[in-house]
Each structure stands twice: as structure tokens, then as C-alpha cells.
Structure 1
Amino acid sequence: MWMFAIEKVLIGCDGINSVVAKWLGFKEASFTGRYVIRGYKKLMNNHGLEPKFMHYFGKGFRSGVMPCDDNTVYWFLTWTPTSEEKELAKNPSKMKQLVLRKVEKMPSDIKTFIEKTETKDILTSPLKYRHEWELMLGKISKGNVCVVGDAFHPMAPDLGQGGCCALEDGIILARHLAEAFTKKTGKHVAKEMGEEGKSKEQYKKIEASLRKYAKERRWRNIDISVTSYVLGFVLQGDLKLVSHFRDKLFPAFLAELLLKKSDFDCGKLN
């Protein structure tokens, strides 16, 4: 758990199970109905893959393989588990076999990276998100306390923008807080205030800066979170109509959507 206290500011960046978010009134993140299995394989030699993201779809699941560097390959699989599969989620060996069964039609030269992954390098977890109405109505800041990243907006990973949104949060929050800390009160006024008065004045500036941050970040994060949730449903869909749309009509639209959602300018720090 991570929480940063800067003088009189508490910034909750303590993840999806955030204590700070709970204090602000947010409920526990909701289950999307899907799970994800993630793994990686580090090789002694060059894997020989091009720097491309390889995407595979099946009935009710989707999988991806992507090189991280010349020697490391990351892979994942998302699916809607049965109650029995949920019970096996803590068993990496069983989860690895489940992945291999589902991706049996994957090219063998790609599937081999999953086959060679050690169980200690496999992680299974439920995919969670925060409902859009909670993001719309919830308190992102209160007094001198606020949340950023997954503590604020846990989301499905299908758009690949969760970490990026956290970085955007950090830049915009830093900009507003910098304004609160660097904006000086006139010497004559400060002298009349006294120490207690100056502390109260700075608290008000901090509180106002956090409200500005919350206002600026609310709708951007709602947009990304909702889009990610819907995208996950479409990409993993097993209904014939949804599968047809995904396979025949969606690729060009998806490429444009990913570029559009990631092309966001959060401005400079100063």
C-alpha cells in the first residue's frame, strides 16, 4: 500500500483496495465477471519476435502475446470463468493448462512461450472496475485528501490505458498542488495573519487545488473506464453477432479507437 503525505496533503495511490478511497466514500471495486491470467517467459537467447502485439480470439476468451525486450515475452488470457475454474485460480499449474487448452489453435512457435513459462511467473486475478456512476458522483477529493490511479479509477485492461491515466493524474495533480504551494500571500497580509492564519490559508489553497484536480480528471477517467469495459465485452464476446462484428468490422475501428483514446495531452507541469 502506498500513501504519500506532503506537508498537509494526503495523496492516496494505494491501489485497487485503497484505504483512502474507502475513507472518501468509494465502495469496493466491482467484479467485471472476467478473470485474467498473466505470465512471462525470460529466455537465455533472443526470442526472434518482431516488436508487435499478437492478438488471438476464441469462444468466450481472448489472448495476447507481446515481446518486452529481446529476451522476454509477456502473454495473457482473459475469460469468463466457471465456478470450478474460480476455485482453481490459485493454482498456477492448473491455470497454465487451462490457457493451453483454450489457445490450442495458436501458432506453435508462439504457444511455446506459454508452454515454457514457469508456474512461479504466472498470476491469475479477477478483473475489477469502478462503476461509472460512482466515478460521476463520488468524492475524488475531500479537504486535503485525494486519490489517484487505481485507488481512484480501477478499470478493465482492454484499452491499455489504466497506467497511462495514473500518470496523467500525477502530472495534473502536481501542477495544481504546485500552484497552491508557490502562490505567496502578500507580506503585509501574511504578517497580520500570524502562523495559525497562514496555515489556514494554505489549507484552503490546497483544498481548492485538489478540487480543481478532481474536476479536471473526472470525465477523462469515466470515458476511459467505460470504453475499456465495453471493449472487453466485445473483444471477448462469444455470441455469433458480436463475434462477427469483432472479426470482420472491428479491426480498423479498434486501431483508430486505441490511437484516439491514447492521444491525450495533459499539459505541462508548469
Structure 2
Amino acid sequence: MEEVVIVGAGIAGLATAVALKKVGVRALILERSKELRATGAALGLFPNAWVALDKLGVSDKLAALYAPFERNGAQPRAVHRKVLLEVLAEELPPNSIRFSSKITSIETQVEQGSPICIVTLDDGSIIKSKVVIGCDGVHSIVARWLGLRPPVYSGRSAVRGLSVFPKGHGYDQSHGIHQFVDVGKRAGFITLNDKEVYWFFGATCPPKGLEKGADPEMIQREVIENLAKDFPSVFLDVVKHSDLSSLTWAPLMFRYPWNILFGKLARSNVTVAGDAMHPMTPDLGQGGCSALEDAVVLGRHLGDSISKHGKLVTQDIGFAMERYAKERRLRAATLITASYLSGWVQQDGSSRLMKFLRDVVFYKLLLARVVNSITEYDCGKLPSVSSLPSRESESSI
């Protein structure tokens, strides 16, 4: 019997567990991998993400490692995904993460007049919990259980990698994102520090022979010799310095915003967060940022319930879940829409109209306003709780 079960130890899962710890609830995280996954190499965290990280109590640890860079008035930082995961995991009590744990089913039933979630794992073990939070990514089992429509292919794919320059790369770290655009293609890179660079390449259609899980050397060669051969040499040089273990190629998926607006984001004592709720294209760099927002908002609503009763009361959880879903619904749909349209304007088409929309309307008139309006979001404060509940209250219903 657990208070809360979180499915997935990615950014959303770990951040949600930290938020719950802050409000006095200990969560068990079920992660199907053998260790923390660092797929994606790095990510940009905008001011809205740093607000959330501050509420989670870890912003200072990360800010000390990464310097901010300017981008249209906002000051994001590019961080290693693995470092972010490790910093969040360090905030949790021992044995909070159970690795090699793949769930096969979720059920709900009533025990002693209160709803209880039953999670079954592929090894046959069964876990009962007051709450289940799906943070299990784009192809979420929990989202499917809620009845959310599956994500769809955006028509674009992307390769991402981390490049290492042992003697230093020499790029201006205050420049922000170095970006290159061609017909149906977009690439760029961001410096993490004086020796490491995170880069990405997106195309409107995947090249033949390259699929998810393709050989890293093949991915690198395809980018250099074919896909980006006409791009500036500075970008090709970054790709040549790639740490091959960091290279990934994958289709860019998103959930239709109307599925978020009108879909079931919470049912009984079950909900979703992060990519499990709102998978989006990476064009505005808000995937990880919004996952951190989810964690704080969810922790805040569950924490408000605890502050009223002194413990996590099963009968009140459903109401907290609904308040969380209501608060996140419009925000998530807006981010999905803005990210998709941003990618469409920047990458699709070569007509004069598209070039005008991209170079004049979007870059010069809209981008700064869109980024600023999105990144000025404040996810709210977590209610303070002096200490964790006792094991007796944790196991009580």
C-alpha cells in the first residue's frame, strides 16, 4: 500500500515526487528502465521553468552549473538532462524509485467506502495506492487508461546530440541559439559550457533508412553528408564533434489541443503530467518547462487538501485532481498550439509568402512576444508542511 504511485522517472515524474515531498507526501516512482534515462542529451529551461525549480528547492543547484543566455528578452539556460534528473532525484528519500518496473494494468475499486487504485506490474506484483500519476511519456499507459486520444505524428522528425570539444569550442555563450533554416529543414545549437554544445536538426520527412533506434554513426553521417550538407560549416563542425552515445533520431509527436481541452485529464484518483498529458513539438522549448509546471501545480492542489485535513484524505483527492486538470487544460493546449505553429512557420515551405511569414511576421514581430508571454507564467507556491506524515498515516485510508 502506497500513498502515491508515479509512473515514470523522467522530468515530470521526479519533479512531481519532489513537489509531493514538499507538501508532506511520500511517493513511489515506478520506472521501467534500469536507471535514470537521459535521452535527449540537453534541454533549454526558460524563466517559467526556473520559477518551478525554485518552488521545488533545486534552482540554486542548477543555476550554479549553467550560465543564462539571452534570447528575445528571456534568459533561459541550457542544461544537461541527466544532471537535471539527478538533482531532482537527490531530493527524494531513499528507495523512492523502483527501477525495472513496468506496469501492465491499472484498475480502481472501492475499499471501505474510498476509491483505491490498483497497479499491476509485469512481474505479477500488485501495488495499491490512493493516487496514480502517469508521467510515462508520449505513449503513456496511464493516458490511455484515462481515455485520452493517442498523440499524432507532426510530419517532422528530429535528431539531437551533444558535442564535446576537449580544448574548448570558442563559441560566444551569450549568443543564445545559433539557428539555421532551409526549405523543410531547421537546425541549431546551444552552448552548455565552454566545452559542450547541444545541437538539433529537424526535417519535414525522415530520411530513408533512419528510424528510431538507428545506429548513431549512421545518424551522424546522414546529417553531415546528406541532410545538412548545405548548412554552414560551423554547424557541420559541431555535428562532427558529437558524442555518439548521445545521438537520437525520432519522430516529433504531439496531442491535438482539442483532445486536451475536451479530454479526460483526470478520473477518480488518476491523472497525468508532462508528455503523458501534453506531448508537443520542441519548437518553443517548452516540453520540459511545462512538465516542471505540472509538478508544482499538482503538488499545490494535493497540498491544499492536506493542509485542510492534516493528511492525504482519499475522498478529497478526486476534487484536487479535477482542480489540477482544470488549471492545466488551457495552458497545455496553448503551448501545444504555439509550438506546432512555430515549427510550421519556421520550417515548412519555400514560397515567398512563407518566407515573409517566417522572416518578417514571425521572427521580427511575433517571436519575442510569444516567448515572453509563455515564459512569464508563474505556477504558484507549494503550501509548506513541516514534516512528512508518519508511516501509520501514510498507510491509512
TM-score category, normalised to shorter length:
0.7 to 0.9
Aligned-pair RMSD on alpha carbons? 2.2
Matched-pair contact (CA < 8 Å) for 2:274–2:288: yes
The list of structure 1 runs, each at least 4 consecutive aligned residues, that deviate by more than 4 angstroms after superposition, is 3-7, 85-89
Find out whether 1:165 has 2:311 as its counterpart. Answer: no
Structure 2 match to 1:42: 164
Aligned with residue 249 of structure 1, among 350, 361, 379? 361
Partner Cα separation in structure 2 for residue 258 and residue 251 of structure 1: 11
1:62 Cα deviation after fit: 0.4
Rate the CA distance shift 1:234–1:74 in 2: closer, same or farther, 3 A. same
What secondary structure, in the 3-state scheme, does the structure 2 residue paired with 1:183 have? Answer: helix
Find out whether 1:68 has 2:189 as its counterpart. Answer: no
TM-score (norm 1): 0.87
Give the greater-gyration-radius structure (CA). Answer: 1
Aligned with residue 137 of structure 1, among 246, 257, 262? 262
Structure 1 match to 2:334: 223
1:89 Cα deviation after fit: 6.9
Matches within 5 A, 1:7-46: 8-46=130-168
Structure 1 match to 2:228: 103
Aligned AA (1:21): A
Partner Cα separation in structure 1 for residue 239 and residue 161 of structure 2: 8
1:152 Cα deviation after fit: 0.6
1:87 Cα deviation after fit: 5.2
Q: Name the stretch that deviates more: 30-39 or 107-116.
A: 107-116
1:26 Cα deviation after fit: 1.5
Gaps of 5+ in 1: 186-197
What secondary structure, in the 3-state scheme, does the structure 1 residue paired with 2:170 have? Answer: coil
1:228 Cα deviation after fit: 0.6
Structure 2 match to 1:194: none
1:88 Cα deviation after fit: 8.5
Partner Cα separation in structure 1 for residue 203 and residue 338 of structure 2: 18
Partner Cα separation in structure 1 for residue 139 and residue 217 of structure 2: 27
* Deviations, residues 47-82 of structure 1 (Å, cap 9, x unaligned): 111122101100111001111112111111111225
Structure 2 match to 1:269: 382
Rate the CA distance shift 1:45–1:83 in 2: closer, same or farther, 3 A. closer
Partner Cα separation in structure 2 for residue 153 and residue 56 of structure 1: 27
1:254 Cα deviation after fit: 1.2
Partner Cα separation in structure 1 for residue 237 and residue 185 of structure 2: 19
Structure 2 match to 1:188: none
Structure 2 match to 1:211: 322
Structure 2 match to 1:153: 278
Partner Cα separation in structure 1 for residue 206 and residue 187 of structure 2: 18
Rate the CA distance shift 1:11–1:215 in 2: closer, same or farther, 3 A. same
Report the structure, 1 or 2, having the larger helix content.
Answer: 1
TM-score (norm 2): 0.60
- Paired residues, what number? 256
Aligned AA (2:286): Q
What secondary structure, in the 3-state scheme, does the structure 2 residue paired with 1:159 have? Answer: coil
Partner Cα separation in structure 2 for residue 121 and residue 263 of structure 1: 31
Partner Cα separation in structure 1 for residue 160 and residue 359 of structure 2: 24
* Deviations, residues 21-44 of structure 1 (Å, cap 9, x unaligned): 111111321111110010111221
Identity of aligned residues (%): 36
Partner Cα separation in structure 1 for residue 256 and residue 342 of structure 2: 15
Aligned with residue 218 of structure 2, among 87, 94, 98? 94
Matched-pair contact (CA < 8 Å) for 1:237–1:243: no
Partner Cα separation in structure 2 for residue 87 and residue 213 of structure 1: 37
1:255 Cα deviation after fit: 2.3
